[in-house]
Amino acid sequence: MAYPYVSDREVRVVSKHFGDPLQRRIDTYVERGGYKALAKALEVGPEDVVDIVKSSGLRGRGGAGFPTGVKWSFMPKDTNRPHYLLCNADESEPGTFKDRELIRWDPHQLIEGCLIGAHAIRAQHVYIYCRGEFFETTQVLARALEDAYAKGYVGENILGSGHTIDVTVHAGAGAYICGEETGLMNSLEGRRGLPRIKPPFPAAVGAFGMPSTINNVETLCAIPHIVTHGGEWYRQWGTEKSPGTKLFCVSGHVNKPGNYELALGFPLSELIEDVCGGVRNGNALKAVIPGGSSVPIINAEEVSRCSLDYEGCVAVGTMLGCASVIVMDETADIVKQVRRMADFYAHESCGQCTPCREGTTWTAKILRRIEDGRGTEEDLDTLMQTTQNMVGTTICVLSDSVAAPVQSSIVKFRDEYLALIRRGERVGAA
């Protein structure tokens, strides 16, 4: 037993060395087989790497779950213009805390993944965009990178292959929206982090106007393992459509919160009961948000039917997102928590689109009114309507993300809203 908590139900691939400070050292990393996948990738060439990743069925771990190999194959094959690989380490979705851990426990795993990814898309420069708050995390990564440069794994003529790939760590400055891929590109270019209208897609016009691909930290961390062992090996875990392992960030009212790496398709109720030691104080489970704050909330009954893969979550009306499981017991105040999330989105909306800019603010205000006992039943209809107008009408999906928790909580926990409204009416009348 080491790293905060571990469970024997886990399959630790990318998180294998969590809790071991030695892993940060390049010597240890190499001793344990590190940078062999890079050598293999350089040898077999971009096309084969893309094929291996395609065959593994690996899906992007940043939230959308798009197949990584397919995404890489969208990149143009020419090399007349620079290509860029962008690693998304802007982790700021409430409930998510895996990328920071991946970087600070195993920085070389990420660097190796970035190099292989860059080679696969014929990029000579990788930018790792770390959220600005990650001072120490970024230091660990920068130091690891320094060592990798010194040993010839990064930079010119990597391992004598004739290939040049540079890696730069770039620190953001505090804005959730820079995690959105085109917002990240604008931010990297020294602009406000405003998402761009698509198309053009990044593979055509991305960072600095050049073809770019963007991948999440966890996605890239899985790459060296897949390249070493092959696609079939990765498919031994997970389901047909959601192969492999995934880090689950469990937070909230469980006895043992933390990061757990599990095969996709793992039953949510077992994650809470077996892996995380159950709900704290033996309380009853009220609700779970299985994929970070941007996905619909589910109630205890739905939890019992939910399996943790992309399709399994959709089947119970929610999404896997970035697998950030937020657990709420019977004492949780749903209205307050939904209002807190709405506040977050109102704060983080970049303000380009009217439905999002106005919608997030009004949603937060109305929820606050209800929480304070000044709401009416009509407000619930207004909320449903307002949030409905925010879906599919904007440049990026931050706007849609507000609708998910608000609408699902009003539908599933209407009683709690009504109780606040009724109590307010009684106090008001007295």
Q: Tell which positions 202-261 bind other proteins, by CB under 8 A.
A: 208, 249-253, 257-259
Indicate whether 19 belongs to the interface with other proteins (CB under 8 A): yes
Q: Which does 62 bind (CB under 5 to 8 A by kind): ligand FMN, other proteins, ligand SF4, none?
A: ligand FMN
Contact assessment for residue 278 and residue 255, using Cβ atoms and an 8 Å cutoff: yes
- Beta strands 84-89 and 324-329: pairing type? unpaired
- 53-112 residues in contact with ligand FMN (CB under 6 A) are 60-64, 66, 88, 90-93
Contact assessment for residue 237 and residue 245, using Cβ atoms and an 8 Å cutoff: yes
Q: Which does 214 bind (CB under 5 to 8 A by kind): ligand FMN, other proteins, ligand SF4, none?
A: ligand FMN
- 157-186 residues in contact with other proteins (CB under 8 A) are 167-176
- In whole angstroms, the minimum distance from the beta carbon of 94 to other proteins comes to 4
DSSP element (H, E) containing 87? strand 84-89
Task: Please give the torsion angle defined by the CA atoms of residues 275, 281, 284 and 290, in that order, rounded to the nearest 10 degrees.
Answer: -40
Strand partners, 263: 245
Indicate whether 286 belongs to the interface with other proteins (CB under 8 A): no
Task: Pick the binder of other proteins from 13, 35, 41, 91 (CB under 8 A).
Answer: 91
DSSP element (H, E) containing 213? strand 212-216
Per-residue tokens: 391? 């879906």
Phi, psi of 235, rounded to the nearest 5 degrees? -75, -5
Helix 414-429 with 398-412: angle, nearest 10 deg: 70
Can you tell me the distance from the alpha carbon of 424 to that of 260, in angstroms, rounded to the nearest whole number?
Answer: 42
**SS3 labels along 317-336:** CCCCCCCEEEEEECCCCHHH
- 237-296 residues in contact with ligand FMN (CB under 6 A) are none
Where along the sequence are the contacts to ligand SF4 (CB under 6 A)? 177, 195, 349-353, 356-357, 394-396, 398-399
The stretch near other proteins (CB under 8 A) out of 85-93, 231-239, 267-275, 352-360 is 85-93
- In whole angstroms, the minimum distance from the beta carbon of 280 to ligand SF4 comes to 34
> Side chain identity at 325, as an amino acid letter?
V
> Side chain identity at 96, as an amino acid letter?
T
Q: Which does 357 bind (CB under 5 to 8 A by kind): ligand SF4, ligand FMN, other proteins, none?
A: ligand SF4
- Beta strands 324-329 and 285-289: pairing type? antiparallel
Location of structure tokens 């999404």: 319
DSSP element (H, E) containing 399? helix 398-412
Task: State the number of binding residues for ligand FMN (CB under 6 A).
Answer: 22
Q: Which does 371 bind (CB under 5 to 8 A by kind): ligand FMN, ligand SF4, other proteins, none?
A: none
Binding mask 104-123 for other proteins (x = CB under 8 A): xx------------------
Q: Which does 19 bind (CB under 5 to 8 A by kind): ligand SF4, ligand FMN, other proteins, none?
A: other proteins
Whether omega for the bond prior to residue 243 falls within 30 degrees of 0, making it cis, is no
Is the CB of 239 or the CB of 399 nearer to ligand SF4?
399
Q: Which residue is nearest to ligand SF4 (CB)?
A: 356
- 164-193 residues in contact with ligand FMN (CB under 6 A) are 177, 179-181
Contact assessment for residue 102 and residue 217, using Cβ atoms and an 8 Å cutoff: yes
- In whole angstroms, the minimum distance from the beta carbon of 221 to ligand FMN comes to 10
Q: Which does 326 bind (CB under 5 to 8 A by kind): ligand SF4, ligand FMN, other proteins, none?
A: other proteins
Q: Which does 257 bind (CB under 5 to 8 A by kind): ligand FMN, other proteins, ligand SF4, none?
A: other proteins
Phi, psi of 292, rounded to the nearest 5 degrees? 90, 165
Q: Which does 395 bind (CB under 5 to 8 A by kind): ligand FMN, other proteins, ligand SF4, none?
A: ligand SF4
For residue 97, with 0-12 CB atoms within 10 Å meaning exposed, 13-18 middle and 19 or more buried, which class applies? middle
- In whole angstroms, the minimum distance from the beta carbon of 351 to ligand SF4 comes to 5
- 342-401 residues in contact with ligand FMN (CB under 6 A) are 396-398
Phi, psi of 88, rounded to the nearest 5 degrees? -90, 100
Sheet-wide strand order for 84-89 = 166-171, 125-130, 84-89, 212-216
Which stretches of the chain bind ligand FMN, using CB under 6 A?
A: 60-64, 66, 88, 90-93, 177, 179-181, 214-216, 219, 396-398
